[in-house]
């Protein structure tokens, strides 16, 4: 059981890093286009100068919120302090690798002040200065948090395993008593109820995916380092989980599942011309619903919390009005407490819903029909 958990975790991490990398292939060209457009509009000001002007002007909640929910090549801690992260880039045009630390760009509010090896940092992401195509394998803020979550879960599972070994045939105690009901719930009330007799084959994955989503959701609720990253609200993260679920559902599907997909028994052939394309489309709609549901709910939660917190700065005119700040605090603080409590519930709920629906989809593919 523990070997399967470790294998699935490592596989998920490798797959996630590769997906993050593929996501960044086209970013340099887009970023270069934006820089050129900005230069044509106002040729006397550089992007760094414009960024500085934005930070010295009025409070822009949209910019702050979008900066938070997006990924970054550095991990902001407090004020001007950030944790530098490794930058690992393969330039497809030059056929060469580029490695450094994000601190080499001397970033200020996500915008680098220096160019390093033909690369620059804008909006906390490293781009090619000349617009050449690249693949970013960097350890970004989301990847760092994801690795941290995986490490915490591996430690937790090994502690539980050690507790079982040392307290064989005894009632669970301490941390073991917290983890055991959750694992038993996923294994028996979710996997066994929805999959049936073959549930043990898929239980390691379902346990892994539940806790992996949960730990990343909980880390995202922590407002300070090493939390705050919007990992579960990143489409690449949910895409990886949805793809793995799609593979498990269809690779291990029974013969009856495919018969009902391509040639449903008892249905007139003329009607199959309509039903079969719908069934085939359903193969992809199932994982898509998993991907978009998790992405939308977690990202929406982060945006909601930051939007409410922004009320303090908007009413206070960024510190110019003490009365406005106090009024904003009276409005925002109770709402933030309520919304954060809801987000804590949503963190568990979304992990459960993803696991539950995955088990249902696997169960449908494992079902055998007597009339065959």
**Each residue's pLDDT tens digit, 97-131:** 988 888 888 766 667 677 888 888 887 788 888 88
| Cβ atoms 200, 186 nearer than 8 A | no
Give pLDDT, residue 313.
76
Q: Residue 190: its pLDDT value, please?
A: 94
Task: Locate the domains of the chain by residue range.
Answer: 26-132, 143-366
pLDDT at position 69: 85
Q: What is the pLDDT of residue 110?
A: 63
pLDDT at 370: 61
Q: In the prediction, which pLDDT does 11 show?
A: 46
Put residue 98 in one of left, alpha, beta given phi > 0 → left and psi -120 to 50 → alpha: beta
Q: Quick one: pLDDT at residue 47?
A: 39
Residue ranges for the chain with pLDDT beneath 50: 5-56, 372
pTM reported for the whole predicted model: 0.78
Residue 186 has a pLDDT of 94
**Cα dist. 103→126, 134, 210 in Å?**
11, 20, 35
pLDDT at 128: 85
Sign of CA dihedral 117, 23, 29, 58: negative
Of the candidates 240, 194, 192, 195, the one whose C-alpha atom is nearest the C-alpha of residue 216 is 240
Q: Which pLDDT score, from 0 to 100, does residue 3 have?
A: 54
Question: What separation in angstroms does the CA of 354 have from each of 60, 208, 213, 242?
Answer: 34, 12, 9, 9
Helices (H) and strands (E) in the chain, counts: 12, 7
- Per-residue model confidence (pLDDT) at position 354: 95
End-to-end CA distance of the chain: 34
Cβ pair 64, 78 in contact under 8 A: no
197 φ, ψ (degrees, to nearest 5):
-65, -25
């Amino acid at each position: 059981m523990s070997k399967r958990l470790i294998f699935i975790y490592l596989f998920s991490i490798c797959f996630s890093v590769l997906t993050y990398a593929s996501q960044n292939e086209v970013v340099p060209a887009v970023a270069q286009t934006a820089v050129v457009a900005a230069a044509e509009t106002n040729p006397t000001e550089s992007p760094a100068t414009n960024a500085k002007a934005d930070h010295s002007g009025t409070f822009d909640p949209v910019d702050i919120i979008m900066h938070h929910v997006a990924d970054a090549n550095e991990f902001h801690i407090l004020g001007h302090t950030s944790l530098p992260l490794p930058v690992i880039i393969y330039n497809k045009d030059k056929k060469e690798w580029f490695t450094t630390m994000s601190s080499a760009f001397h970033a200020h509010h996500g915008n680098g002040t220096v160019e390093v090896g033909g690369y620059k940092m804008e909006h906390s992401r490293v781009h090619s200065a000349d617009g050449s195509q690249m693949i970013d394998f960097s350890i970004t803020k989301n990847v760092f948090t994801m690795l941290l979550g995986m490490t915490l879960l591996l430690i937790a599972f090994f502690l539980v395993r050690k507790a079982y070994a040392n307290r064989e045939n005894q009632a669970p105690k301490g941390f073991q008593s917290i983890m055991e009901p959750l694992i038993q719930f996923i294994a028996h009330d979710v996997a066994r109820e929805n999959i049936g007799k073959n549930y043990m084959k898929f239980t390691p994955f379902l346990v892994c995916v539940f806790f992996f989503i949960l730990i990343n959701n909980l880390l995202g609720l922590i407002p300070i380092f090493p939390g705050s990253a919007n990992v579960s609200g990143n489409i690449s993260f949910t895409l990886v989980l949805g793809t793995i679920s799609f593979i498990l559902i269809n690779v291990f599907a029974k013969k009856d599942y495919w018969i009902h997909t391509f040639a449903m028994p008892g249905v007139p052939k003329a009607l199959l011309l309509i039903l079969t394309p719908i069934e085939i489309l359903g193969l992809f709609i199932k994982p898509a619903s998993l991907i978009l549901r998790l992405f939308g709910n977690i990202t929406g939660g982060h945006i909601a919390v930051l939007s409410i917190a922004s009320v303090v700065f908007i009413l206070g005119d960024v510190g110019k009005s003490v009365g406005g700040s106090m009024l904003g605090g009276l409005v925002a603080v109770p709402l933030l407490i309520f919304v954060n409590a809801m987000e804590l519930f949503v963190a568990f709920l979304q992990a459960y819903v993803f696991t539950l629906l995955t088990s249902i989809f696997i169960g449908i593919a494992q079902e055998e029909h007597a009339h065959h």
